[in-house]
Structure 1
Amino acid sequence: MASFVIEGGHKLHGEIVPQGAKNEVLQVLCATLLTDEEVTIENIPNILDVNNLIQLLRDMGMKVSKSGSDTYTFQADNLNLAYLESDDFLNRCSKLRGSVMLVGPLVARFGKAMIPKPGGDKIGRRRLDTHFLGIQKLGASFEYDAVNGRFCINAEKLKGAYMLLDEASVTGTANIVMAAVLAEGVTTIYNAACEPYLQQLCRMLNRMGAKISGIASNLLTIEGVSSLKGCSHRVLPDMIEVGSFIGMAAMTGSEITIKDVSYQNLGIIPDSFRRLGIRLEQRGDDIFVPAQEHYQIESFIDGSIMTIADAPWPGLTPDLLSVMLVVATQAKGSVLIHQKMFESRLFFVDKLIDMGAQIILCDPHRAVVIGHDRNFCLRGGNMTSPDIRAGIALLIAALGAEGNSRIHNIEQIDRGYQHIEQRLTALGARITRIE
């Protein structure tokens, strides 16, 4: 198990380019199963979750070729369907949460799929009901093998249907959309997720010959087609990395420029950081964060304490609340961080409290942060990363702390952030990886 040793207190300076978006890549990689023609995808990040899914596709019989540092071509014209029922396939899927999005394409094109209970972050219950209920509405049957902990999905022919999703699940919507594009007739999905990454998936599918309308809204209409063709697709920059770099600049009082961020796809992320008092400027498609010794949390118009909460798009992504919580520890003022969508993502705050942060954990969903206004720096600490987003939040805390910190289980960070120590070292950070 690898660890990071971080020497805190160093200013960062320079330019950094965000990687391709992890959450989008996991969707579009699964979509390559929907055609037997070549699909080329650019801006794929070199991170653990993505690399594991690409290897899993290879082992399924997908032809995968790399034509550039971040560009791959995929062709699913001769899959080994027997492998999809093997213990090796199911064991590897159980360790990769994104593998659940294989179900929609496999059932749509081949009429069957098998999937174990997926793994991934330990951030509370992440139920799969939305995925399965939606695909069932299209005519698939589900059986759960409790002894082996696996789901068996079968469908002779999917047929379009109207559905109102019980939650605007991003991966659930993606899975249903990928199943519906090859179903007979028209599918209508209401309360669909509409994140930019889901929009990207829909546009890619349309270039492949799908007929999806309502993109960017929560009402999608899909007219099924008999087959899809190949296409080329470029992945958006990762909005979570963009937000993480804004947080790093604020926490360390540094001046950095974040390049090529696709600003129009960031939604309320920039304004959410501004609510914490952080100055940032849009310069073309870049974000410039000036060095800022102090930043003051805003209050609501009636003077009440600022509350920052996650919500489905176009609300604030839950993946950035951990970063914003850390940044608030050095702000002037107080803020309530309300993590509505996951129940265990705030449990890492005990590590920040050990570093000297003033945080009251109200319950699994809410924490009040009382900012130090840099009158007291966090102390370096010894901690373990429980999930991807808490891991990067702890790294940001360590960069702004006095003394040395050690973060264990950094494989969690590697799952979502590409070569993070090299990229931050180039900005002036002091980070050493110890295997």
Structure 2
Amino acid sequence: MAVFKIEGGHHLSGEVIPQGAKNEALQILCAVLLTDQEVIIHNIPDIRDVNKLIVILKNLGVRIEKLAKGSYSFHSDNLNLAYLEGEQFKQEGSGLRGSIMIVGPLLGRFGKGYIPRPGGDKIGRRRLDTHFEGFIKLGADFRYNKEERFYGVEAPNGLSGTSMLLEEASVTGTANIIMAAVLAKGKTTIYNAACEPYIQQLCKMLIAMGAKIQGVGSNLITIEGVTSLNGCTHRILPDMIEIGSWIGLAAMTQSEITIKNVSWENLGLIPTTFRKLGITLEKRGDDIYVPPHTNGYEVQSFIDGSIMNISDAPWPGFTPDLLSIVLVVATQARGSVLIHQKMFESRLFFVDKLIDMGAKIILCDPHRATIIGHDFKSTLKATTMTSPDIRAGISLLIAALSAKGTSTIHNIEQIDRGYENIDERLRALGAKITRIE
């Protein structure tokens, strides 16, 4: 396994172009299975999770051609569905949680879909019930092989539109159900649907392919099923989580960074939340300019003077994927903040490494942590640590870049799952970081 060696304490400067959105890419790539015609996708990020899914699609029989950096052509006209029940797929699919989203399009188009119990981040229990309950309501039969940890859904007579209320506004669950419903017979309504920009992008792509979808951007999606879909060309949004990571890194290292072409209209509460920590962000066209915070940044308080509380929520609330970044940035703020991670019970356990580095953090319970900022009066100390998941990994990397001394981060494959060539891009800004295989 590779490790990062990071010499911290350096101020960075320059411009960065955010990669394509990981969470959108996983949905969009699965949607190519809905048609036998050519689908061209631009701005695909070159990261481990996305590349794993591309391999799964290729092994499933999708003809894939790389057109340019980040641009691919997909033809799903001669699929090998037997691959789904073989040992190779059980190995490959179980290592990628996003592989669950191939089930919806395969079920809608071919009347059957299979998936091994998927892996992914170890951030707590992440139920798949929303996916399969939606498929069952559309008329599919469900089976689960407990010994082999293998799920299957079948609808030999096709799917039928229905009305459903989702128990939770699951992003991947909503995407999966939408992809199944666009080829179902009749009308489907999905209430309490996730409405993240990535879901909106998926719907826009499906509409371009000939799907009939209304309510895009709301939590009530209405779908009128069609018999087939056409090909299309689609461009993936910039990754809002990576954009937030660059903002946090700039503030924490007191660096001057411009983040290019961020698609401001799709950032939601991200700029507002960082401003609550006292971080200055300037909108320059479609770019974000973060000036060097040489005098630090001060956490705001609520109107009644109580401690600032930052928590996650489904869109349009603040994304849970950036709470780890906000937490580490708060360690050098002026003031205190309570971080409340509502959605995953294990995502805050990485803070013990920050405490080892000298951060003042009180872990109240698995969901809440109070951070008392140093105001740069004392720096974090370098240490050796291991990346437990994608977002904690990038947070530890930001901490190491601000710390005094040389830190080592193990298990950086976790970071590579979500961030494209992160060490090369950091070196271009002046960071002292080395990848050791």
**TM-score tier (shorter):** over 0.9
Deviation of the 1:111 alpha carbon: 0.8
Q: Which amino acid aligns with 1:384?
A: T
Deviation of the 1:83 alpha carbon: 1.0
- The residue aligned with 1:38 is 38
SS in 2 for 1:179: helix
- The residue aligned with 2:327 is 325
Q: Which amino acid aligns with 1:327?
A: V
CA-to-partner distance for each residue in 1:332-370, whole Å, 9 max, x for gaps? 000000000111000000000000000000011000000
Q: Which amino acid aligns with 1:91?
A: Q
- The residue aligned with 2:134 is 134
- Note the 1:214-253 alignment, pairs <5 A: 214-253=215-254
Deviation of the 1:428 alpha carbon: 0.6
Deviation of the 1:325 alpha carbon: 0.2
TM-score w.r.t. the length of structure 1 is 1.00
- The residue aligned with 1:336 is 338
CA-to-partner distance for each residue in 1:85-115, whole Å, 9 max, x for gaps? 1011122100000000011001111111111
- The residue aligned with 2:151 is 151
Deviation of the 1:330 alpha carbon: 0.2
- The residue aligned with 1:184 is 185
Preserved CA contact (<8 Å) 2:135 2:153: no
Q: Which of 327, 345, 359 is equivalent to 2:347?
A: 345
- The residue aligned with 1:265 is 266
CA-to-partner distance for each residue in 1:380-420, whole Å, 9 max, x for gaps? 01000000000000000000000000000000000000000
Deviation of the 1:39 alpha carbon: 0.2
In 2, the alpha carbon distance for the partners of 1:170 and 1:292 equals 35
Q: Which amino acid aligns with 2:378?
A: F
Q: Which amino acid aligns with 1:212?
A: I
Preserved CA contact (<8 Å) 2:248 2:329: yes
In 2, the alpha carbon distance for the partners of 1:90 and 1:28 equals 22
In 2, the alpha carbon distance for the partners of 1:102 and 1:241 equals 25
In 2, the alpha carbon distance for the partners of 1:418 and 1:265 equals 21
SS in 2 for 1:29: helix
Q: Give the share of equivalent positions with the same residue, in percent.
A: 70
Alignment root-mean-square deviation, CA: 0.5
Q: Which 4+ stretches in 1 moved above 6 angstroms?
A: none
Matched, 1:395 2:394: no
- The residue aligned with 1:109 is 109
The alignment covers a number of residue pairs equal to: 435
Deviation of the 1:173 alpha carbon: 0.1
Q: Which amino acid aligns with 2:369?
A: A
In 2, the alpha carbon distance for the partners of 1:351 and 1:287 equals 30
In 2, the alpha carbon distance for the partners of 1:365 and 1:132 equals 27
- Note the 1:363-378 alignment, pairs <5 A: 363-378=365-380
Q: Which amino acid aligns with 1:250?
A: A
- The residue aligned with 1:306 is 308
Q: Which of 385, 401, 426 is equivalent to 1:424?
A: 426
TM-score w.r.t. the length of structure 2 is 0.99
In 2, the alpha carbon distance for the partners of 1:202 and 1:130 equals 19
CA-to-partner distance for each residue in 1:214-258, whole Å, 9 max, x for gaps? 000000000000000000000000000100000000000011100
- The residue aligned with 1:86 is 86
In 1, the alpha carbon distance for the partners of 2:152 and 2:248 equals 43
In 1, the alpha carbon distance for the partners of 2:148 and 2:310 equals 41
Q: Which amino acid aligns with 1:428?
A: G
Q: Which amino acid aligns with 1:176?
A: I
Deviation of the 1:152 alpha carbon: 1.6
Matched, 1:173 2:192: no
SS in 2 for 1:67: strand
Deviation of the 1:45 alpha carbon: 0.6
In 2, the alpha carbon distance for the partners of 1:136 and 1:205 equals 22
Deviation of the 1:145 alpha carbon: 0.6
Q: Which amino acid aligns with 2:393?
A: G
In 2, the alpha carbon distance for the partners of 1:103 and 1:81 equals 11
